[in-house]
Amino acid sequence: MIDLFDKLKMEGGPLAKYAHLPDDYFFFPKLEGEIGPHMTFNGKKVLNWSLNNYLGLANHPEVRRADAEAAAQYGLAAPMGARMMSGNSVHHLQLEKELAAFVQKEDAMLLNYGYQGISSSIDALVDRKDVIVYDAESHASIIDGVRLHIGKRYVYAHNNMENLEKQLERAAKLATEQGGGILVITEGVFGMSGNMGDLKGIAALKKKYKFRLLLDDAHGFGTMGPNGAGAGEEQGVQEQVDLYFSTFAKSMAGIGAFIAGDKHILKYLRYTVRSQIYAKSLPMPLVLGTLKRLELVRRHPELRKDLKNIMHAIKLGLRERGFSLNMTVTPPTPVLFKGGVGEAANMAMDLRENSGIFCSVVIYPVVPKGVIMFRIIPTAVHTMADVERTLQAFSALKTKLDSGFYKEEALVSVTRN
């Protein structure tokens, strides 16, 4: 037997091998200043492509004013208590009503956080007789929710409808034997790859198999569809989505989440989602601030247009320069290279220190070994000048990588400011 903490110090976790890299630089970096395309990192102004502030609402004057006025009126304590006991309000109910209408569902339920919300909702929806079938590239919050399930679960190859059908055949047989049901889970927009979930393909399988569909549309809400109602609206199958989930942390630039669907299912969830029953209600400033954000999403469709203009410009420019971006047709834009961890560190430092461009670099185990991903997040408040500057920087980055520069150079030293 060994001491538990000694074991943890030895193992360290999947990213511990990179702990020698400068603190607050690759992991836990500090971006300072007003949220937007231009912020301060390591004491220098940088062009920032790393925030999911898709519609630019984080510093919208109406949002800032609504947040400030709500905080001044209510503080952060109100309402006190869990929603079920003493933490309800007319504003919470109003937000739920407006969210449900926006995503074309009968009812909606507020959740304090996206991660906890989706995991706890999955836990509440299924019991040991039920079977879960989920996409292989689902977000960690979905995976953790699936792990809570004490029954059987099957994973299908990402967006592969043939493989999904095979898993549904297995699930249908088992669910019939056990007297349970089937829950299929996918995402509207996969935040790392930028791929949209094949919701049309999944909806078509409903004609053959009896299952319910839970959609996590964190990156699609507010950005996709004619009205911003998400990937289901974009693909014309919103009515086939049985439960629609999204967080406020992306296009709404806030905190919290919601799940929407039929009234009788939402009533059940209100009494069974443990992350809400045993947690303090969402504070009033966050509720009122989200109401203002939702109003702006409905009132200003040009924000989505501005986002899409920037999104299309940077994707087109990168593809014209020979970069691999996967099949992304949504805001998240992964730029893929081949290389090791040392090269990734040098490339990121070169971008930040010499080009003044900050975007997240992703390495194994998030992506396969030998793959380097720079994840660009376009927003409505970026400009075409920002796009052109970034395209030039990435072209130079590629030239240096192809020449072996980053492999030969030692890790760039970072000056602390």
User: Which CATH number is associated with domain 61-299?
Assistant: 3.40.640.10
Q: Answer positive or negative: Cα dihedral of 224, 227, 228, 230.
A: negative
Kindly give the confidence (pLDDT) of every residue in the chain, 417 residues in length, as a single tens digit, with 9 standing for 90 and above. Answer: 888 888 777 666 656 656 666 668 888 889 999 999 999 998 999 999 999 999 999 999 999 999 999 999 999 999 999 999 999 999 999 999 999 999 999 999 999 999 999 999 999 999 999 999 999 999 999 999 999 999 999 999 999 999 999 999 999 999 999 999 999 999 999 998 999 999 999 999 999 999 999 999 999 999 999 999 999 999 999 999 999 999 999 999 999 999 999 999 999 999 999 999 999 999 999 999 999 999 999 999 999 999 999 999 999 999 999 999 988 899 999 999 999 888 898 999 999 999 999 999 988 878 888 999 999 999 999 999 999 999 999 999 999 999 898 886 555 554 444
Closest CA to 52 of 232, 252, 203: 252
CATH class entry, domain 4-54+302-408: alpha beta
Ramachandran angles phi, psi of 292, nearest 5°: -65, -40
Match 């070994």 to its residue by tokens. Answer: 369
Do you find a cis peptide bond into 79, omega within 30 degrees of 0? yes
Q: What pLDDT does 416 receive?
A: 45
For the chain, the 3-state helix, strand and coil shares in percent, each to the nearest 5, are 40, 15, 40
Residues 139/218, Cβ–Cβ less than 8 Å: yes
Indicate if 61-299 has the same CATH topology as 4-54+302-408: no
Paired tokens of 197 = 């979930």
Paired tokens of 379 = 């927003």
Do you find a cis peptide bond into 331, omega within 30 degrees of 0? no
- How many alpha carbons fall within 13 Å on the CB side of residue 278? 6
What are the structural domain ranges in the chain? 4-54+302-408, 61-299
Ramachandran angles phi, psi of 14, nearest 5°: -65, -25
Match 């399930």 to its residue by tokens. Answer: 149
Q: What pLDDT does 11 receive?
A: 66
Q: What pLDDT does 406 receive?
A: 87
Per DSSP, which regions of 243-366 are E strands? 243-247, 257-261, 333-338, 357-358, 360-362
Instruction: Tell me how far apart the alpha carbons of residues 325 and 337 are, in angstroms, rounded to a whole number.
Output: 10
